[in-house]
Each structure stands twice: as structure tokens, then as C-alpha cells.
Structure 1
Amino acid sequence: MATADDYETYVAEAQQATMKGWDFSWLNGRADGGGPSWRSNLPPGPFDLVLNRHGVLDAARIRTALAPGGRLLTQQVGSRKLELNETLGVPAPADPDSWTLDVAVRALEDAGLRVATAREEMSPYTFHDIGAVIFQLRAIPWQFPGFELSEHESALRRLDRRIRIAGGFTVHDHRFLIEAQAGRWSAVEPGRAAVDVPPGRCPH
């Protein structure tokens, strides 16, 4: 069973963990969950495809890039992921309603795309020790503006005790999935290769 002394151990391990881009493998065994339930399966066919996972969703640019009848498939990180901010007393980086499924769908439809699929989930994600929490704070600092380990030590120690008593601390990842299609009036001619937008920091 973890003791109070483990707090310093977990903190030290998390601070010394190597950050390698968008690699969260250090959390294996220390946190779990967060994956949405959907799986995307597009039917085969002669259409162009844009894949966007956690990238900036520029509706107007995507609209002009798609061939007539071309499809967009995107998974986005929403703005309602605030439980850890609230627990630690860290201000939210943005309005909780600034980037939701409804906001994204409206942007795509305003750009002339037809939305075929729209799904939104709050997927549970559980931290099993305070080191996993601190690693998360380091990995996505834009989610926790102004966070300083020393200034938030009291809140972290309270959360550490909560995790050790309850066996974990569960938050919910805000994710949404959209499949949309360009009309036959697209200015881009058919036959362009598919575009895969790599994962990365989404400013929303």
C-alpha cells in the first residue's frame, strides 16, 4: 500500500520522465481509459479523403481541399475537459463551450459540407497515482495555464491522498467524431490523393 512518502517518489519520477512528442507510453499501468468507443469504417470508393485526428479543424480550408464528393473524417479534443483543472484550482484555458460537437458541425456546414456522422463522448480516464497526474500536467501544459508544482503542492497532496484512498482519480476526456462530405460542386477536381493531418496540439 502506498504511503505519504510515496508522494515525493511519484513527483520525482514524473518530473524526470522523458517527454517524446505525443508519446504517453510512460503512463502505461499508471493511468487508463480515455479512448472513444467509435471506430471509423469508410466504404471503398473513388473519392478523396482527409483524415484529421486532434489537428486544427479549418473548415473553409478543408472544404476547398476536398474533391467533389470527397470526405472528411475527424476526431477532435473538445473543450469540456476541466475536472483536473477544477480539482487543482487551475483556471480553464478556454470557455468550456468554445469547442464542442455543435460548434464544429456548424463551422463545417457553414463551409458547405454535409455532415453525415456526428458523435460526442465524455470518456472516463483514471489516474492511479499522483505521478501520472503530474506527467499529464507536463505533457499538455496548454490545458493548465499558470500551473506551478510548488504553488499547487497542497492541492496535489490532497489529490494524492484521494487517489490512495479511492484507488484512483477519474476524469472524463471530451472527444467528438465527425464525418462530412463535400458537394459535387467542389472547385477541386477528382483524383487527388488523400491527405492525413497528423496528430498534434489542438489550440481549442
Structure 2
Amino acid sequence: MPTFDELVAEGESVPTEGWDFSWFDGRATEQRPSWGYSGLLAGRMARARAALDVQTGGGEVLASVPTAPPVLAATESWPPNLAIARRNLAGLGATVVQVEDTADLPFPDDHFDLVVSRHPVTTRWDEVRRVLRPGGTYLSQQVGAGSVRELTDLMMGPQPVDPDRSAMRIAGDAEAAGLEVVDLRQESLRMEFFDIAAVVHFLRKVIWIVPGFTAADHRDRLVELHRFIERHGPFVAHSQRVLVEARENG
């Protein structure tokens, strides 16, 4: 059996670029939302004429669509992800642009009939409305309030839940920007971590769970969690997901 230090070293060695989570196979699991975002995305993309994916990451989810619209663009803020996204989306003919998460979108008014975003850091609802054509649609799967808080609280002590990520606030912000919310769903989804390497890699990759995480700074808590997993089995947490679909009615 690998030692604690060997597992931590392994979790620290795995690259964090992109949104490919295949390394976690056999080491961690996460229940998927019942609505099937990838399927919804594929259906919307097949009907679109011009589409934009905001905060695409490495473009892995967008690259899975079987049919792309004639005009396809994506934005991403993190430089290491840009090269990955451009490579993954080249086959779809997508233009990938570096844009900060809170910045204005570098596209004309009324330019897209579909804007999508999976797990955005933040949503500029005013910009989404501006670039959507009348009758256009915004589809997004967002991280809900208190996602994976069991792990956050274990590492940092009890933390307040950000109300801005609640389904009610998401819908309210969309409507305040002048969009009509036509679909809103939320689910709590079971996660299991089977070893401490998976925990370390997850916290390095999903940086908002424990901001500024390093294994050295959180060693005592990681040792405690490692011993718990050895004695009692996987550590269980719950991710929170919100699906929102909104329309620009002109």
C-alpha cells in the first residue's frame, strides 16, 4: 500500500490543465445531474447558427458535440487552457479567445443565437444579454451554493455559504439583466474520494473549494482525512449543480 507521503506526492504531480477528469477513475466518483448537460448542449448546438461557449476550460465538453454551428466561438481566461482548447476545438472550426472571467465579451451586439457556459466562475448577465440575438438562448450548468462544503469545512473550518450561487440568486440576476428564465433546476450530487491523492489533486484542480490550497499548508488535515479513509472507507461530499436556461426576448 502506498504511504501517505507517496499518495500526496502523486496527487501533487498530476497536471491540472483542462477539464479532463479521467485521472480520477477508480479513485473518486461524482454523481452526474439527471438533466445530462452534454446532451442538452449537443441538441442546442445542432440547431444554432452562431454560438459562444463562455469559460470553456480546455474545450473538452464543447468538443463532444457531434454537430457545430457555422459560427462557433469560445472564451477562456487561463493561459494554460487556451492551447488545450484551441487544439480540442480545431475540428469544430471554433475561434478561441482569451478573455478574463469578469471582462466584457469581445463580440458585437446581437451576435449569437446561443450562449452556453459550464461551471462559470462568474456570469456577466449584462454581457450575455448584449451578445444574444432577440429570441436567443443562454444555457448553463452552474456550481450551486455550498458545493463540496464537507471538504471545504474539513480543510478550513466552517465557512459561510455564498448566497450568490443559489438557484434563486442565479434566476434573479438573469431576470434583472432582462432575460426570461424558462428552465431552472437544482440537484445535490454524491461524491466519494477513495484515497488522499484524489483529494489533493481535486483541491489543486478545482481551486475555489479551498482557495490557495497547498498540501504542505493543510498537511495535518490531510493526515486526519487519510487515516479516516483507511479505517472507514471513502470520504463523502456533495456537489451542488444548477441548470439555468434563459431567453432574450428583445
Provide TM-score, normalisation by structure 2: 0.65
- Contact kept in structure 1, 2:48 and 2:114, CA below 8 Å: no
Segments of 5+ residues of structure 1 without an aligned counterpart are 187-204
Compute the displacement of 1:119 (Å). Answer: 0.5
- Contact kept in structure 1, 2:204 and 2:214, CA below 8 Å: no
Residues 1:9 and 2:6 aligned together: yes
C-alpha separation in 2, matches of 1:160 and 1:127? 10
Compute the displacement of 1:128 (Å). Answer: 0.7
- Contact kept in structure 1, 2:145 and 2:240, CA below 8 Å: yes
Deviations 1:47-83 (A, max 9, x none): 8221111223211111122222111111111231221
Larger radius of gyration: 1
Three-state SS of the structure 2 residue aligned to 1:123 is strand
C-alpha separation in 1, matches of 2:28 and 2:133? 41
Segments of 5+ residues of structure 2 without an aligned counterpart are 50-112
C-alpha separation in 2, matches of 1:112 and 1:18? 40
Residues 1:122 and 2:188 aligned together: yes
- Contact kept in structure 2, 1:79 and 1:174, CA below 8 Å: yes
1:70 counterpart residue number: 136
2:29 counterpart residue number: 32
4+ aligned runs moved over 6 Å, structure 1: 43-47
Task: Compare the two structures and name the one with the higher helix fraction.
Answer: 2
C-alpha separation in 2, matches of 1:136 and 1:44? 33
Q: What are the equivalent positions in structure 2 for 1:1-150 lying under 5 Å apart? A: 2=1, 6-39=3-36, 40=40, 48-55=113-120, 56-81=122-147, 82-89=149-156, 92=159, 95-150=161-216
Higher relative contact order, structure no. (Cα contacts within 8 Å, ≥ 6 residues apart): 1
Three-state SS of the structure 2 residue aligned to 1:171 is strand
1:162 counterpart residue number: 228
Compute the displacement of 1:43 (Å). Answer: 11
Deviations 1:176-195 (A, max 9, x none): 00111111xx2xxxxxxxxx
Three-state SS of the structure 2 residue aligned to 1:88 is helix
Deviations 1:136-179 (A, max 9, x none): 11112333124332332221111111112222011111110011
Give the residue type in structure 1 aligned to 2:114.
L
RMSD of equivalent CA atoms: 2.4
Residues 1:172 and 2:238 aligned together: yes
Identity of aligned residues (%): 35
1:195 counterpart residue number: none
